[in-house]
Amino acid sequence: MPRRFAGQVHKQASRFLRANLLKEEPAWYQAVLENPPLPLPPRAPASRTRFDLSPAASTSSDPTIASSISRRPFTINYVEDKLRRQFFHDHPFEAFRPVSLIESAKIQDEHPIQGKQWERLRQHGRNPTPEDAIRYAVNLHEHHGKSLTYAYAAAVAQFRSLRSEREVTIATAKLEADVIGIEFGRTQVERVFGLEEKAFDTWARRGPTDASALAARKRWKAIVEKNYATGTWSGGKDYVRLWQEGVRPSYLPVLDKPVLTAVGRDTAPDAAAKQAVAKAAVDKMLTPRGRAAVLKIDFMALNTNTHPPSFP
């Protein structure tokens, strides 16, 4: 049987109907005619002009016959691509020049001087870009009938002349400004270096700041007096023995000598009230044995660097 494609079923059904091989139209026939399937891709690409063909394909007598042999489409080649590749090969550092990529509200209009009127690269400005030189070479090739070799050489020569003229003008202007005494501001590179140095200074000052903050956080620290008796650990037996004997531990700081409180020497009108409040607080906190000793202590003049006191 011959090979059939799914996209050609309705065409085969049409032929069968015309030959009376099908007596009635299939139920899907009209629907497929109204919405036919997508056509198959062509076996060969469409014929191309010699302008965008590769050099090897453009030399053939019939590009349509040559294209039917290969199923792959040809690559698109423009004159600008060849000139641009050669230009940046000869001037590699032009690719490092900064280019603004900011788009304006509307597309920039083309330069009014184009075609045969464009005879010199300087007509588009005294500071041309690489794209200006490439377009000028293409313009010489297409509108002035020059060969690509001559057009490229002329464009590069004029481009280099304008660039050298600009560099000499800038250098001369700088020398004149130095002689007159004009002081220029910092360049963008110097500004960036200044910002880096400023950031490094903040990092250098951060060390002492962090150290002072750490010392401030450790301002209050415990001072433990190691006045423990030498010997082996009794496992808490000595503590239990003292507790059974009625000896109570005291953790109050010891005094170098007993100091009389200032309450007794207070001559203010409310001295009696202060003494009564202090006596009531002592009665609530201490036992009768320790009350007499505490009344003789000035708690504002305690020396915390000594041993805790022992009440009688």
Indicate left, alpha or beta for 219 from its phi (over 0: left) and psi (-120 to 50: alpha).
alpha
Assess whether pLDDT exceeds 90 at residue 83.
yes
Alpha-helix runs per DSSP H in the chain: 9-18, 29-34, 55-58, 63-69, 79-90, 130-143, 148-180, 188-217, 237-245, 271-285, 288-294
pLDDT, one tens digit per residue, over 224-253 is 666 655 667 777 888 888 888 888 766 555
The CA distance from 67 to 48, in Å, is 9
Percent helix, strand, coil in the chain (nearest 5)?
A: 55, 0, 45
Q: Which one, of 71, 30, 65, 23, lies nearest residue 48 by Cα?
A: 65
pLDDT tens for 258-306 read 444 444 444 445 656 666 766 666 565 555 555 555 555 554 444 444 4
Please state, for a pLDDT cut of 70, what percent of the chain lies above it.
59
Mean pLDDT of 135-163: 94
Mean pLDDT of 174-189: 87
pLDDT digits (tens, 9 = 90+) for 114-126: 999 999 999 999 9
How many whole angstroms from its chain centre is CA 100? 20
The contacts of residue 298 (CB under 8 Å, 6+ apart) are 259, 260, 261, 262
Measured between alpha carbons, how far is 110 from 301 in angstroms, rounded to an integer? 94
Q: Quick one: pLDDT band at residue 163, thresholds 50, 70, 90?
A: very high
The single-letter DSSP state of residue 59 is T
Note whether 160 and 149 are within 8 A (CB). no
Is the pLDDT reported for residue 150 higher than 90?
A: yes
| Residue 262 DSSP label | S
* Of 134, 107, 109, residue with least CA distance to 121: 134
- Asked if 298 contacts 261 with a C-beta cutoff of 8 angstroms, the reply is yes
Contact 82, 152 (CB under 8 A): no
Of 29, 39, 34, 32, which Cα lies nearest the Cα of 5?
39
Q: What is the largest CA-CA distance in the chain?
A: 139
- Cα 43 to Cα 4, 39, 74, 75, 183, distances in angstroms: 16, 12, 14, 17, 72
